[in-house]
Amino acid sequence: MDEPRVAAVVLAAGGGERIAGPTNKVLLPIGGRPMLTWSLELFERLRDVQTVVLVVPDRNRSAYESVVREAGLQKVKHIVPGGGSRHESEYLGLLAIVDAIAAASIDLVLVHDAARPFARPDRVEAVTQEAGRTGAAILAIPATERIVALGPGQAVEDIGAGLWVAQTPQAFRATLVLDAHRRADRDGFQGTDTSSVVERLGERVSVVADRPDNIKITTPDDLLRAELIAEQLGAHEDDVLLGALWPRT
Ligand code: CTP
Ligand code: MG
């Protein structure tokens, strides 16, 4: 696929309960602009991305519309209400572009958590390219600590080595991810991320190495870390620092 036509579904409908801030967490400022703006501006800049679907909470829609307006974004073509879980929000986001997918005017879909403001263009392009080749790909980083499962009686159960932490964006052939979601809906399956919805069909999902600073803002501590990352990115817009820390692959 030379130049795929890509839609990005940006999930921003969560309540941010673990941060318990004064507003939805994706509206909180990082580096002087709303967390959500970082992702929307990233997709605005990526050549292959033609359409952005922004999934927002039922309440507070106007605050999200203001963010889009103030950032002067052209690619946000749909602002749709989300559901009670990330999974449902994702399905509702996909349904906003169902006609374009059926008409084959979108080849690939990127699904991204607005709670990850620091996804980097080169990594997003890499995961998009991989999905164009294979059908499904996610960004992930190698786990840097041992991860164990809890067995009966809180006993440690080994889950092996070579574990990776899944991140977003995750990229899929558009027809594949829509079909996977329709089947999940039929079967009452709720995925923790988009990949899990596709994996259950027996589809292979490739992993593309991400940078470790593409963190998800989940707790108040993460907000502090995010300010530091924003500062570093601002001071090194040419990517020299992060490129050296995490060589392009
Ligand atoms: N999300 C969504 N719809 C939901 C739940 C989550 O669109 N019903 C989005 C969030 O806005 C976020 C991403 O999914 O960008 C990852 O979710 P998470 O980090 O858990 O965010 P929240 O659900 O907002 O936070 P919390 O779980 O602490 O309430
Ligand atoms: Mg949540």
Cα atoms in the 13 Å half-sphere on the side-chain side of 199:
13
> For residue 167, is pLDDT > 70?
yes
Q: Tell me the average pLDDT across 86-109.
A: 98
Residue in 24, 40, 112, 113 to alter for ligand 1 test, most ligand atoms within 8 A of Cβ:
113
Provide the whole-model pTM.
Answer: 0.94
Structure tokens of 61?
């829609």
Q: Indicate the helix (H) or strand (E) that contains 188.
A: none
The bound ligand whose nearest atom lies closest to the alpha carbon of 83 is 1
Q: Tell me the average pLDDT across 217-230.
A: 97
Largest separation between any pair of C-alpha atoms in the chain: 54
- 236 pLDDT band (50/70/90 cuts)? low
- Report d(CA 84, CA 17) in Å as an integer: 13
Please tell us whether the domain made up of 6-138+165-245 is placed in CATH 3.90.550.10.
Answer: yes
From the CB of residue 134, how many other CB atoms can be counted at a distance below 10 Å?
Answer: 15
Closest CA to 174 of 53, 74, 42: 53
12 Cα: distance to centroid of ligand 1 (angstroms)? 7
85 Cα: distance to centroid of ligand 2 (angstroms)? 7
Please give the full DSSP string across 141-161, using - where no structure is assigned.
Answer: EE-SS--EEE-GGG-EEE--S
Mean residue pLDDT across the chain: 94
Q: Whose CA is nearest to atom 6 of ligand 1?
A: 14
**Domain residue spans in the chain?**
6-138+165-245
CB-CB contact of 25 with 217 (8 Å)? yes
Cis peptide before 169 (omega within 30 of 0): yes
